[in-house]
Chains A and B, each alone.
Chain A
């Protein structure tokens, strides 16, 4: 029989992530797919790929925890935890001191504050609004007719960032159209959109001294971290596999079970 592994499944609104950890808390397998419309099937697909990467079979799973919006749809998890708990756990694993975590996901943003002991002292989630989320950038990439994955490089190329004033996705869309009409460069508009995302997130709550950024949007758009550092005026840490922080946290909870 192969070594025992611990599985974390983060079934998010946009993407499903699975992390496989060994007993020493090393990430030995991971997989991500669009969550799609069949959450159970997507979770199983991710699990299969992550286990394959880890070089183990289903029988090696000692425990599994599900998190994310679709956590109740995961059939092979022993229990569920909220994504707030899992992101906290996943980040504290890499940065074991008092931290403020900024998580930018496809559907929502979170600011989670942890104490030196890793206990959550408070958290905030965005209001029922797409402003500042991955969904906002996806919508805007369609408006700009550029692939989502090209947004980061575009933002980095900007020399004259466009300022976008609105925090409403619809109004921002109108502002983007107005800037296109005025001949502004796509790169400058994209940087303006990134700046808008960061501003929306930072206005959710105050931050403590040490800041960590996670989430799929951060993983695919690392320039957001540079911009956030510039705004808050200090270094921001990013854990390995930032898109998997919630899944890793879930797997860590599975180890503790």
Chain B
């Protein structure tokens, strides 16, 4: 019988410090929620977190809870409760898993961080529709449940050029959040503090970008499955010095690995680009699947979504508006195709995997003919796998395995 080769995943030392950072982050939120010593804002993952932080809020991101529900494979048990409430199985499974967990009075935080019994209760909910409309509906649910205000920013979608008109509009909307946030927080808006947070957020973003770019090395020192978890502090901690310091540390470690030609995937032969969400419940399994085929999924649109190069401490409102509108997910297909082509060139990619996530149309870029267009533009073969970010009912492991193995066979044939 053909034995499946055991794959040992390479450890990234800084991940331990990142784990401690995440632990401290959740305990701090828990303390604030239980003692009332700090106000808590819930924010969408690419929402105006810099403003919230500058105004003294601790910021909680429900999407990270969705990802935890996915990665602990508890989401599928939670989703039906939300479905029964009228939230379709076809909509964002972060939303349905999270609402389902709320209805079931469950959180994976309790197991990961003993003593935490629930997610931290919000004082305000702040969204940005730049990624999808689902975040607005998600937060509206909790606004009703917790009887707290929900405010937000409405961003244009399928944006080609990020024009001054769009930036003006979004910047005004972000400025418009200041007054209600002052009322909720009890703090006056402090421009100097805001600039400081935006500056730190930009530094975090720059470091994260550099971290991801270390994978241009051959062999690459990290995988997409590593970076999907290593990006935690860039999501929840941007705008803080500690996040900057962590990415300084990670960057040094990865540069060292690259210099020593320490491969994340032993005998790396195929360099793969991943478009779309991770399948959180299969992060480890997919990591092993690709590594076993000597393929490193080493770059992705997903992890690059926390790069905000436009952030500028000297022009915080407008630069935030631009940074959060420039993101891949907000853009037109023309922009996305050029973006992906640039990544393929930069990382010297052999093949592309598109994850068609059943419940995440905005992060599934294979539905409007882009696959064939990018293939024509780049000449690089691609594969689409069906799955989902959280809802494992939409995932077929055997089909994924066969498709991926067949794709690597194809790349192998092409390499000769």
Contact = CB atoms under 8 A, between A and B. Distances in A.
B406 A80 contact: no
Contacts of B396: 128
Interface stretch (B24-32, B121-129, B329-337, B408-416): B408-416
A85 interface: yes
A84 interface: yes
B406 A84 contact: yes
A81 B398 CA distance: 14
Nearest to A128: B396
A77 to B, nearest CB: 7
Nearest to B395: A128
Q: Is chain A's binding surface mostly helix, strand, loop or mixed?
A: mixed
Contact of B410 (A72, A73, A120): A120
A30 interface: no
Given A119-B413, A119-B414, A69 B398 contact: yes
B399 A80 contact: no
Contacts of A81: 409
Interface string B395-407: 1101100110110
B1 interface: yes
A249 B206 CA distance: 51
A82 B399 contact: no
B354 to A, nearest CB: 12
A122 interface: yes
A75 interface: yes
A74 interface: yes
A85 B399 contact: no
Contacts, number: 48
Nearest to A76: B1
A82 B414 contact: no
Interface in A58-92: 66, 69, 71-75, 77, 79-85
Contacts of A182: none
Interface string B85-117: 000000000000000000000000000000000
A66 B394 CA distance: 28
Contacts of B4: 72
A108 interface: yes
Interface residues of B, number: 19
Contacts of A66: 2
Given A120-B413, A125-B399, A128-B386, A77 B406 contact: no
B381 interface: yes
B409 A72 contact: no
Given A128-B386, A128-B394, A79 B381 contact: no
B1 A82 contact: no
B1 A84 contact: no
B2 A82 contact: no
B399 A123 contact: no
Contacts of B410: 120, 122-123
B1 A74 contact: yes
Contacts of B414: 119
A82 B413 contact: no
Q: Is chain B's binding surface mostly helix, strand, loop or mixed?
A: helix
A127 interface: yes
A72 B406 contact: no
Contacts of B413: 119-120
B386 A84 contact: no
B398 A73 contact: no
A204 to B, nearest CB: 11
Contacts of A120: 409-410, 413
Given A72-B4, A73-B1, A123-B410, A82 B386 contact: no
Contacts of B409: 81-82, 84-85, 120
Contact of A122 (B381, B394, B395, B405): B381
A83 B2 contact: no
B7 to A, nearest CB: 16
Contact of A75 (B1, B384, B405): B1
Contacts of B398: 69
A75 B2 CA distance: 8
B394 A84 contact: no
Nearest to B384: A124
A178 B1 CA distance: 48
A82 B406 contact: yes
Contacts of A74: 1-2
Nearest to B402: A82
Interface string A5-19: 000000000000000
A84 B394 CA distance: 22
Contacts of A69: 398, 402
Contacts of A123: 406, 410
A26 B145 CA distance: 71
Contact of A84 (B2, B381, B384, B402): B402
B402 A80 contact: no
Nearest to B416: A119
A79 B399 CA distance: 19
Nearest to A66: B2
Contacts of A82: 402, 405-406, 409
18 contacts: A69-B398, A71-B2, A72-B1, A74-B1, A77-B1, A77-B2, A81-B409, A82-B402, A82-B409, A83-B402, A84-B406, A85-B409, A119-B414, A120-B410, A124-B384, A125-B403, A127-B386, A128-B394
Interface of B: 1-2, 4, 381, 384, 386, 394-396, 398-399, 402-403, 405-406, 409-410, 413-414
Given A81-B409, A124-B384, A125-B402, 9 more contacts: A72-B1, A72-B2, A72-B4, A79-B2, A82-B405, A84-B402, A108-B399, A125-B403, A128-B395
State the 8 A-B residue pairs at the shortest beta-carbon distance, nearest first.
Answer: A84-B406, A82-B406, A128-B396, A80-B2, A120-B410, A75-B1, A82-B405, A127-B386
